[in-house]
Amino acid sequence: MKQYASLFRNRNFLMLWLSSAISYIGDFFNSVALVKVLSEDPEHLGLWMALVMIAKVVPGILLGPVAGVVADRFSRRTVMIVADLLRAGLVAGLVFAATPAAVITLCALAAAVSTFYNPAASALLPSVVKPEELVSAGSLSMITQRLAMLIGNGLGAVAMMLMGAHYVFLIDSASFLLSAAFKLALVVPAIAAAAAAAGESRGLASRFGSDLKEAWDFVRHTPTVRRLSVTFAICAFPDSALNVLMVTFFTIELGLAAEKMGLVFAALGGAAVVGALAIGAFGGKIHWKYLISYGAAYIWACMMGTLMVRDFLPATGFLALLGLGSGAINVGAQAAFGLLIPDQVRGRFFGGWGMVNNLIYVVGTLLAGWLSDLIGAGTTMMGFTTFYLVTGIYAWFAFRAEGAQSPAAVAAAD
């Protein structure tokens, strides 16, 4: 665990990690309270919840490229602080929202602000850690997101029962203010500050088109980054479908009671945390191309095991084993993007990727739901799972010319 101890001795990383952890928890803290508020119109609850989900995704599709430009042309720390302050105000506004339409509008606005926060955070991380620490930093980021989902939903549910929805919204608002306070203590590295200053001197409006073209030209003329983008586009397709398909597969085809689905998701989430922890501890010695290609093939094998055994306990066991592969892919992605994407275009890359990822999510989710009803959850799940195997095979051949040295080995050689 020396890798993690070294990261936490890095004051910049510690401040960034604490603020991100609080922001992630805040993202999930008010989930139960939103259901409670919208359930005051029970006849249309399904519609309102669907609109909330859409409201959280659409801003990322529409604003992703713009957010990427902002992350590259302004101080990333400032972008993140402003985003936290705006989200604090919008979440506090839910206390006064009198109609479902007002709730959905505020959720959409908060999601739009998050669209600007996420590329800035992703772009800043590689600037505050050493290259050989990217794998460990990536694993901590994934662990934090997974734990935030569990902790945020759990604490939000308890606060909801004890205090009511309005107090939950106020606590959630305060969490974003605390996140902003931690970022005030963050010292932006010189390379990131220089890129931001150059962008500010030229003006965002006049530079927007050429900024996007610059980022696109970088991806187009950098074969490894281009192939990496294709790899994760393929992998994102089955990821987008699994939340729908796991519910229908376990409840309809395996006959699991709907209220027990929490056990399945808990096993999957807990295993992903353990997997990311293990990869972060030892993955610095493994090249990212192996983490991605082997990890994707491993996920395919675990998913096929889940589908073949067709029994609750062993199927859940295979999903738990899947956590190691999920950790490998996500941590490999963090390391690869951090090493390959130059600081001056990093924000635009992550902003554009956020837009693509959200589009894939919408298409994959809708297609999975439709096919699940048409041909069955198991058959549909098997078809989507095949894309993990395709990802592994494609990544193996696409990156076989890449050097086999790990980031740590490269740094030591330098």
Of 143, 136, 400, 401, the C-alpha closest to 293 is 400
Tens-place pLDDT, residues 258-284: 556 666 766 776 777 777 777 766 656
Question: Per-residue pLDDT tens for 200-230?
Answer: 545 545 566 677 777 788 888 889 999 999 9
Range 36-59 average pLDDT: 77
SS3 252: helix
Q: Give me the percent of the chain exceeding a pLDDT of 90.
A: 18
Q: How many CB atoms lie within 10 A of CB 184?
A: 10
Residue 410, pLDDT above cutoff 50 = no
The pLDDT of residue 91:
92
* pLDDT per residue as tens digits for the range 74-93: 888 899 999 999 999 999 99
Is residue 406 pLDDT above 60, yes or no? Answer: no
* pLDDT tier, 414 (very low <50, low <70, confident <90, very high otherwise): very low
Whole-number Cα distances in Å, 224 to 202, 256, 292, 339: 30, 44, 14, 11
Query: What is the C-alpha separation between 75 and 248, in angstroms, rounded?
Result: 44
CB 342 within 8 A of CB 107: no
CA distance 84 to 326: 29
Mean pLDDT for the chain? Answer: 80
pLDDT digits (tens, 9 = 90+) for 113-170: 999 998 888 888 888 888 777 777 777 777 787 777 777 767 777 877 888 888 888 9
Q: What domains, with CATH codes, occur in the chain?
A: 2-413 (1.20.1250.20)
Is the pLDDT at 304 greater than 80? The verdict is yes
What is the per-residue pLDDT for 342?
86
> Does the structure show a pLDDT above 60 at 308?
yes
Residue 204: the pLDDT is 47
Q: Higher-confidence residue: 81 or 192?
A: 81
Please give the pLDDT value at position 106: 92
pLDDT value of position 191: 46
What is the pLDDT, as a whole number, of residue 1?
A: 61
